[in-house]
């Protein structure tokens, strides 16, 4: 729980104040019940009214102080807990941001969501449901036992033994019974969240292939598992509550038995018998919360372990302590003997890649799937560590801050994310201060002017990935990248997942808007590459050929074979388009 404890320690003064208010409120509750019992018992003897005045004032005082200090404890305690929670959430998100996108490959989106939301929110339980209840229970128990021992030593000893059992044995038994369930609870919540997120994300494919019942059955199974875990947690809590109630009754009986001889022998006044009977009830009301606190502690520990697992994840790239500034003006990007792998234990994905990109030059990196093209894009953006040399105007990028590098090199990936917000806000991710005229202009440059005019609220229209086609999403991503005005543009499979017609149109527009700008186009489609300055063929992590489109076609090999396949498919598509509608095809 070190991570959560560190977050809450930043609020130690507020939490200390909340603890003080809670102790005073709990002591007031015990004193109120004891004073009320004394007052009622003594009043039954019909003493002079003035003899009851002090006790009556004390009853009112304790009643008011209990309410006031309990209110202060809740306000100050929750304020401190939520302040600490904010700091913890920011720290976890900052770590996730530094790990993304490469360092989070082994975590699913649903699991990360559960860690960032449910597990972080569990941190509130640490001060409010673990630390403060234990602190109040211990102090109130000691104070009550000390007072009762002064009044009737035997009753004090009896109450001390029973309260000690309530402070130690009962919470331990409750926690022991629910230990296995609590350890699995956070993981089960993450698994359920993952299943729901994946099913929603892939709902179209599930419906298309009739696999929705399978997905629903998986969600139901995980929900049943989580319900079974919760049921076992409830059993542990029920055991604790039952034992606490039994011990509370035993404490009352033992204290009364110990106090009766003192009343008979005249060592204490008769009205103190009511006090001896009622104080154990009041003290045990505070101690009875400890089974819940014990389960909360297990829950906090499990959530903290899951968060710590993310925090301890090694960073894919570490920024230097004294970073060099990024070069100004036009830049030359040079890669020499570049090697990279996705994890230390994995085989290298890039094996000695060397290439150069000069100002105003456009190059393409092509190759089959799995050749290392996306790895190259992640390395150039400093998302992934590497061996060899990558320089901007001769300055190694591993000597620069990652944000500085990404201020020079911009990336458009194969599956652009559209945030569920207005079109204006989605575009301003590229440049936060862009005005509406600049936004309309860049949309026109990428071929979205007609689409913009069709939107009911223009730039204020709320958009999201499900409301846009694949081509519209990619063009929006292109507009965002152009707004960012990066000096080097990297496109990682920008036409992936698009139909041939949409992909071809997007490629034509992309090559048009990048004319005269330093650009790296990473793709496995060869259409339009006769318009770039140089092409590198990447196969199995190595550059196997380079040259212009005409030179590579003449050389033969993978590029020429791929080009012939694309030409053949294009001819077949053109021939099919000429067939009149309704014509029967003879097999």
| Average pLDDT of span 9-21 | 89
φ/ψ of 10, rounded to 5, equals -65, -15
With respect to residue 222, please indicate whether it lies within any of the assigned structural domains: yes
| Average pLDDT of span 369-373 | 88
286 and 354 belong to one structural domain: no
With respect to residue 322, please indicate whether it lies within any of the assigned structural domains: no
pLDDT at 578 over 60: no
| pLDDT tens by residue, 222-235 | 999 888 888 888 88
In this prediction, what percent of the chain has a pLDDT beyond 90? 37
90 and 56 belong to one structural domain: yes
| Average pLDDT of span 325-346 | 89
Angle ∠(397,401,403) on CA atoms, nearest 5: 105
Lowest average pLDDT, out of 45-59, 173-187, 386-400, goes to 173-187
| pLDDT tens by residue, 387-442 | 999 999 999 998 998 889 999 999 998 878 888 899 999 999 999 999 999 999 99
pLDDT at 575 over 60: no
Residue after which a domain boundary falls, among 278, 311, 344: 311
With respect to residue 469, please indicate whether it lies within any of the assigned structural domains: no
**What pLDDT is recorded for position 19?**
92
Q: What is the CATH number of the domain that holds 363?
A: 3.40.50.300
Q: What is the CATH number of the domain that holds 285?
A: 1.20.1560.10
126 and 37 belong to one structural domain: yes
* Number of domains observed in the structure of the chain: 2
In this prediction, what percent of the chain has a pLDDT beyond 70? 95
159 and 25 belong to one structural domain: yes
74 and 222 belong to one structural domain: yes
174 and 285 belong to one structural domain: yes
436 or 102: which leads in pLDDT? 436
With respect to residue 98, please indicate whether it lies within any of the assigned structural domains: yes
With respect to residue 467, please indicate whether it lies within any of the assigned structural domains: no
192 and 294 belong to one structural domain: yes
401 and 367 belong to one structural domain: yes
With respect to residue 321, please indicate whether it lies within any of the assigned structural domains: no
352 and 233 belong to one structural domain: no
pLDDT at 100 over 80: no
**What pLDDT is recorded for position 586?**
46
348 and 256 belong to one structural domain: no
Strand ranges, E, within 361-492: 362-366, 387-392, 395-396, 409-412, 421-422, 462-463, 488-492
pLDDT at 112 over 90: no
Can you give the residue range of the structural domain that contains 293?
A: 2-311
300 and 413 belong to one structural domain: no
Separation CA 117–CA 194 (nearest Å)? 13
With respect to residue 432, please indicate whether it lies within any of the assigned structural domains: no
357 and 413 belong to one structural domain: yes
Output b/e per residue, 403-420; b: 16+ Cβ within 10 A: ebbbebbbbbbbebebee
With respect to residue 243, please indicate whether it lies within any of the assigned structural domains: yes
**Which of 353, 229, 244 is closest to 302 using CA atoms?**
229
Separation CA 443–CA 432 (nearest Å)? 16
């Amino acid at each position: 729980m070190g991570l959560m404890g560190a977050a809450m320690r930043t609020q130690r003064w507020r939490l200390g104040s909340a603890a003080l208010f809670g102790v005073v409120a709990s002591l007031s509750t015990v004193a109120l019940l004891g004073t009320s019992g004394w007052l009622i018992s003594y009043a039954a003897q019909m003493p002079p009214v003035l003899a009851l005045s002090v006790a009556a004032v004390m009853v009112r005082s304790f009643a008011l102080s209990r309410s006031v200090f309990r209110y202060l404890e809740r306000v100050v305690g929750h304020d401190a807990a939520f302040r600490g929670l904010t700091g913890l959430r920011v720290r976890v998100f900052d770590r996730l941001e530094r790990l993304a996108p490469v360092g989070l490959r082994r975590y699913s989106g649903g699991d990360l969501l559960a860690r960032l939301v449910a597990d972080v929110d569990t941190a509130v339980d640490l001060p409010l449901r673990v630390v403060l209840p234990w602190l109040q229970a211990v102090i109130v128990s000691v104070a009550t036992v000390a007072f009762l021992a002064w009044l009737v030593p035997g009753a004090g000893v009896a109450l001390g033994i029973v309260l000690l059992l309530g402070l130690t044995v009962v919470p331990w038994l409750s926690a022991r019974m629910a230990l296995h369930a609590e350890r699995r609870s956070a993981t089960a919540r993450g698994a359920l969240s993952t299943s729901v997120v994946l099913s929603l994300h892939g709902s179209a494919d599930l419906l298309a292939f009739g696999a929705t019942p399978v997905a629903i059955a998986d969600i139901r199974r995980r929900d049943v598992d989580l319900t079974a875990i919760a049921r076992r947690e409830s059993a542990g809590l029920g055991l604790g509550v039952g034992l606490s109630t039994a011990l509370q009754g035993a404490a009352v009986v033992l204290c009364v038995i110990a106090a009766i001889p003192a009343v008979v022998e005249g060592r204490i006044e008769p009205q103190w018998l009511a006090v001896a009977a009622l104080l154990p009830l009041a003290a045990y009301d505070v101690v009875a919360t400890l089974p819940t606190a014990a389960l909360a502690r297990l829950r906090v520990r499990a959530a903290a372990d899951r968060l710590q697992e993310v925090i301890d994840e090694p960073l894919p790239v570490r920024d230097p302590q004294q970073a060099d500034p990024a070069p100004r003006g036009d830049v030359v990007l040079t890669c020499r003997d570049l090697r990279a792998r996705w994890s230390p234990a994995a085989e290298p994905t890039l094996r000695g890649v060397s290439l150069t990109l000069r100002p105003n030059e456009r190059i393409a990196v092509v190759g089959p799937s799995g050749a290392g093209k996306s790895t190259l894009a992640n390395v150039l953006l400093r998302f992934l560590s590497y061996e060899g040399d990558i320089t901007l105007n001769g300055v190694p990028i591993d000597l620069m801050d990652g944000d500085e590098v990404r201020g020079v090199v911009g990336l458009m990936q194969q599956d652009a994310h559209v945030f569920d917000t207005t079109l204006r806000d989605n575009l301003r991710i590229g440049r936060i201060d862009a005005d509406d005229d600049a936004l309309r202009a860049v949309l026109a440059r990428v071929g979205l002017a007609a689409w913009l005019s069709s939107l009911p609220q223009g730039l204020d229209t709320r958009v999201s990935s499900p409301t846009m086609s694949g081509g519209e999403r990619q063009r929006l991503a292109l507009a965002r990248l152009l707004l960012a005005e990066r000096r080097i543009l990297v496109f990682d499979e920008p036409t992936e997942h698009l139909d041939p017609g949409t992909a071809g149109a997007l490629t034509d527009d992309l090559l048009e808007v990048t004319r005269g700008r330093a650009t790296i186009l990473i793709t496995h489609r060869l259409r339009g590459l006769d318009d770039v300055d140089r092409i590198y063929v990447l196969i199995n992590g190595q550059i196997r050929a380079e040259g212009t489109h005409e030179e590579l076609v003449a050389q033969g090999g993978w590029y020429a074979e791929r080009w012939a396949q694309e030409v053949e498919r294009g001819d077949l598509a053109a021939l099919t388009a000429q067939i009149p509608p309704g014509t029967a095809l003879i097999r």
